[in-house]
Each structure stands twice: as structure tokens, then as C-alpha cells.
Structure 1
Amino acid sequence: MGIEIERKFLVNHDKWSLVNKPEGDVYRQGYIVNDKDRTVRLRVTGTAAYITLKGGTKGISRSEYDYEIPLTDGIEILKDFTTSVVEKVRYNISHNGHLWEVDVFEGDNTGLIVAEIELDSEEEVFEKPEWVTKEVSDDGRYTNAALSVNPYKNWR
């Protein structure tokens, strides 16, 4: 079984703007199933598509299965079968032996930047980059699935 162990943090916009970053990947992802115990997500990038199944979160861990599918199929499934969508640009940043995935959200979630780090265990020690701020791992509003139905623009 695949297990995802992930922590999420907010990002300081001013410090993030100064980071030397690679070109980001545009993601468009939609949800076929979206409830607290499971999600089925379809993600399309410029060159690939993936279907991902995730179980309910226990602590910062949950089951995860991720499969690449043909891009043309992914585009059609996203259009015809998903009920809610999130758009973002993802940047992969290496910092002290860990990969940080930084999502700069677009559309209804514009203004939100979230950094995620995947770990090998819930107790793994890591160093946060200076642009990482408050941890939001336990705040369900910051999951992509939640943002697809209750976008950041509605929080204010």
C-alpha cells in the first residue's frame, strides 16, 4: 500500500518572491470523489495526466495510489467527470536534503501559497526554508480537495 506522509505550511509572499526558483509546472486538477474519507483526483499538467486515489488522513499520513494515464484521456476525464477543480503552478525546491513542493494557486484560490514536504516518517526531522511560515497540516481547509469546493477567495 502507498502511504503519503506530508506536512503543509503557509509561505511568506515577500520572501518567496526573492527565491531563485525553477520554472513551475501548471497543474489543473479535478475531483471525481471528494469526501473526508477518500478522494479520487484527476491531475493534468502540460505533458502528462494522473489519476490519484487517497484515503482519509490519520495524523499527517494517509493511503495514496497514483497512476499515470494518457494525457488525452486525462483531459477528457477532467472535463467530463470532475465536479470541482483547482488550478495552480507548482515549484519543486530542494532544501537541505528535502524536496519542497510549493503551490502558487490561481483562479478562485489566487493569493494562497502553500508549501508541502513529504517525509519518510511522521517523526522525521527537517529544516524549514526561511520563506516557510505557519504549519497548516491539521487545517483541512488547505487541502486541494477542500480548496476545490471552498476556495480561498471565500474565506475573507
Structure 2
Amino acid sequence: MEIERKFFVKNDSWKSKTLSSTEITQFYLTGQGQFPSVRLRIAGDKGFLTIKYASVSDKILARDEYEYAVPVQDVEAQIDHATGSIIQKTRYIVQGADERIWEIDVFHNPSNIPVIAEIELASLDAQVSLPDWVGKEVTSDHTYSNLAMSFRSK
């Protein structure tokens, strides 16, 4: 089960804590609001197929998620079947103040998306120390799911 929280990023001070970054291209084979969602992604030089189910909580993203490595060529061959826009983003891996790892997504397409920080948690009741660059929480605002964002400019 994947358990995560999402936040807007309010400034660039996270950049000095960056451990690595990866260029990501992803798209969905299912429509907005359909579950399970089926996503194909190229991250760096690797391809992935991910199946995500609806969240089991209204306050935190907690859902079953299954991810499988697939050949990049298989992902590229299906790009014409995308149901929404193709998302292009840079994902930065960032060290948080409490030694936890954050993922910061800077979106290139669609371009009207704010920078979003995500943190994965080990349990639903896990406490998080928020770095000073973390802004408003948007975990329960489904407008900021990648699936919904892929339909913003469609």
C-alpha cells in the first residue's frame, strides 16, 4: 500500500538539499476518475506500468499500488493511447529536515501546474516534520492528482 501526503512548494530553498533528479514522461490509459488507474511512465531510461486503486482515506492518500518494470519501447508504443495530456516533469529527490526523503515534481507539461512535494509514509498515523519550503497541503484535493492534472489542458 502506498501512503503519501502532497503539498505545494512555496519557495526554492529545497534545491540545496537535492540528492538526485530524473526526467519523467507519463500518461494514463484510463480516464479521469476511473479506478483502477493505469499509468505508463518513462523515468530516465526505464519504463514502468503502474496500477493504482482509489484511496481508502479522505484525509491522506492511502491506496493499493502495483508497479512493474516494462521495456521503454513498450511504453513509447502506447503513447498514442493516452487518455489525457502527456505529463512531462522533473522529479527531484530531496532530503527533508527530519532525514525523510521528499519527491519534488516540477511540471513542464502541462505547464500551469504548481511545484508539488510528496512524502511517502510508513503508516496512516505517521507524523511529518515539514521543511520551511513546504506550503499548503493538497493531499485530499484530487485536482492535484497526476491523473486529474493530465486532463487540465485536454
So what's the TM-score if we normalise by structure 2? 0.87
Task: Provide the aligned C-alpha RMSD in A.
Answer: 1.8
Q: Deviations over 1:5-51 (max 9, x none)?
A: 010000013434x5342442111100001343321000012310100
Q: Residues 18 and 95 of structure 2 are in contact (CA less than 8 Å); yes or no, is this contact kept in structure 1?
A: no
Following TM superposition, by how much is the alpha carbon of 1:52 offset from its aligned partner in structure 2, in angstroms? 0.1
1:135-146 equivalences in 2 (<5 Å): 135-146=137-148
The structure with the largest helix share of the pair is 1
Is 1:24 the equivalent of 2:24?
no
Find out whether 1:39 has 2:37 as its counterpart. Answer: yes
8 Å CA contact 1:13–1:113 kept in 2: the answer is no
Name the CA distance, whole Å, in 1 between partners of 2:7 and 2:40.
23
- 1:123 corresponds to which of 122, 125, 128: 125
1:147 and 2:149 matched: yes
Residue of structure 2 equivalent to 1:101: 103
- In the alignment, the residues of structure 2 paired with residue 58 and residue 119 of structure 1 have an alpha-carbon distance, to the nearest angstrom, of 15
Shift of 1:94: 2.0
How many residues are aligned here? 148
**Which contiguous aligned blocks of 4+ residues in structure 1 show a shift greater than 6 angstroms?**
none
Q: Please say if residues 105 and 111 of structure 1, whose CA atoms lie closer than 8 Å, have aligned partners that are also in contact.
A: yes
Alignment of 1:65-84 (within 5 A): 65-77=66-78, 79-84=79-84
Q: More displaced, 18-27 or 93-102?
A: 18-27
Whether the 8 Å CA contact 2:20–2:94 is kept in 1: the answer is: no
Residue in structure 2 matched with residue 91 of structure 1 by the alignment: 92
Cα distance in 2 between the residues matched to 1:114 and 1:26: 15
Residues 20 and 120 of structure 1: CA distance in aligned 2, closer, same or farther (over 3 Å): closer
* % same residue: 34
Q: TM-score, normalised by structure 1?
A: 0.86
Q: Structure 1: where are the runs of 5+ without partners? A: none
AA partner of residue 83 (structure 1): T
